């Protein structure tokens, strides 16, 4: 369960409400967008690992780890895309 004052919500995450997310993995992130290195909520590091799952907004502004996705998906009302058309070149 997530508390309203969960420490992870102290980060700058307010503009992540009701957005669309693509699923991806650490290996893809390392290959395509290594400039962001950690989860925006819990600051977990991205590893070069295809078995580490991540969620990213369409504009690739940040990453959300699997744990934080599960904990906050209801609170933030995320919509999940299929992950096949991630436009990695967008900043």
Q: Which is nearer to Zn ion, 32 or 67 (CB)?
A: 67
Q: In Å, how far are 34, 37, 73, 88, 91 from 48, measured between CA atoms?
A: 10, 10, 24, 16, 20
Number of residues that bind Zn ion (CB under 5 A): 6
Q: In Å, how far are 53, 59, 84 from 42, measured between CA atoms?
A: 14, 20, 26
∠ at Cα 25 (23, 28), nearest 5°? 110
Q: Which is nearer to Zn ion, 68 or 86 (CB)?
A: 68
Q: Pattern of binders to Zn ion over 63-82, x per CB under 5 A? A: --x--x--------------
Minimum CB separation of residue 7 from Zn ion in Å reads: 11
Closest C-alpha among 15, 19, 34 to residue 88: 34
Residues 27-56 binding Zn ion (CB under 5 A) are 39, 41-42, 44
Q: Which is nearer to Zn ion, 72 or 86 (CB)?
A: 72
Query: Interface with Zn ion by CB under 5 A: which residues?
Result: 39, 41-42, 44, 65, 68
């Amino acid at each position: 369960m997530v508390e309203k004052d969960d420490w992870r919500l102290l980060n700058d995450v307010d503009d992540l409400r009701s957005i669309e997310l693509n699923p991806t993995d650490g290996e893809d992130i390392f290959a395509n967008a290594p400039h962001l290195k950690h989860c925006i909520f819990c600051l977990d590091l991205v590893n070069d690992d295809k078995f580490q799952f991540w969620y990213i907004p369409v504009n690739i502004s940040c990453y959300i780890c699997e744990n934080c996705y599960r904990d906050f998906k209801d609170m933030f009302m995320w919509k999940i895309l299929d992950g096949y058309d991630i436009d990695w070149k967008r900043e």
